[in-house]
């Protein structure tokens, strides 16, 4: 999730034949454009997606990419794997080699995987403090009872980490199926929570993360995350930080 940002004078010295000291003169001579506007300070920040023009020549023209993919079972949440297909093998995109995964899923877990080249955005939505809600559909080996709802709401103690999970919302869909919403992502958390009742998770499908839903994407398919979806997530992140 690497995100790069640099002062304008350092960026110019790294991407042209001019030195750091030259940048002040270039600005005065109105020879640098940042996102279509004349540069006005050597201290302006250049991010990985700033469009930079010097003397009519483009020095950087990267575009942010935001993708949601409906991961099938048996596909690895990784960019490379010698034995199995990865989520990147499913995607056909000119910038696919620059994408990273935001919130991995286990080998046999299906559903929403988010990929982007925007390190700042992925960091923001991945931080535990952000507390973005993640929703899963779960299929179980034993029938569910109303007791589960209260226990999940109160939190379940994990002895290995010596922590109690945050309150989670459980909706029983049928005898063996439930929808679970939680704000954490502990190791195998969903399976361990149902393990409290000695109830094995047979299938796990991530439906959504914040305002990003996978319900409009077929299994094995992907599409670009819309601006409105990102705006919803950004607002949720702001509320969580406040």
Active site residues: 106
CA distance 199 to 193: 9
DSSP result, 106-156? -TT-EEEEEEES-HHHHHHHHSGGG---EEEEEEESS---THHHHHHHH--
C-beta separation of 62 from 52 below 8 A:
no
C-beta separation of 193 from 168 below 8 A:
yes
Residues 6 or more apart whose CB falls under 8 angstroms from that of 227 comprise: none
DSSP result, 17-45? S--TTHHHHHHHTT-EEETTEE---TT-E
Lookup: tokens for 37: 């506007």
């Amino acid at each position: 999730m690497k995100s790069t940002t640099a002062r304008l004078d350092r960026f110019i010295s790294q991407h042209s034949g001019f030195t750091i000291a030259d940048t002040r003169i270039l600005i005065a001579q109105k020879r640098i454009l940042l996102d279509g506007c004349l540069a006005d300070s050597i201290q302006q920040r250049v991010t990985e997606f700033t469009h930079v023009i010097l003397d009519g020549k483009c020095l950087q023209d990267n575009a942010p990419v935001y993708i949601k993919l409906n991961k099938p079972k048996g596909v690895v949440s990784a960019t490379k794997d010698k034995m199995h297909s990865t989520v990147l093998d499913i995607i056909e995109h000119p910038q696919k080699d620059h994408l990273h995964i935001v919130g991995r899923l286990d080998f046999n877990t299906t559903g929403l995987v988010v990929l982007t080249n925007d390190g700042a955005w992925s960091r923001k939505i991945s931080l535990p403090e952000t507390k973005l809600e993640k929703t899963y559909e779960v299929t179980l080996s034993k029938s569910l009872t109303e007791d589960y709802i209260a226990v999940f709401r109160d939190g379940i103690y994990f002895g290995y980490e010596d922590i109690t999970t945050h309150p989670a919302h459980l909706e029983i869909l049928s005898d063996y199926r439930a929808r679970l919403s939680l704000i954490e992502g502990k190791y195998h958390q969903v399976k361990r929570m149902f393990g409290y009742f000695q109830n094995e998770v047979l299938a796990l499908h991530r439906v959504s993360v914040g305002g990003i839903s996978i319900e409009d994407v077929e299994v094995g398919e992907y599409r670009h995350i819309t601006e409105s979806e990102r705006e919803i997530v950004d607002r949720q992140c702001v509320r969580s930080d406040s």
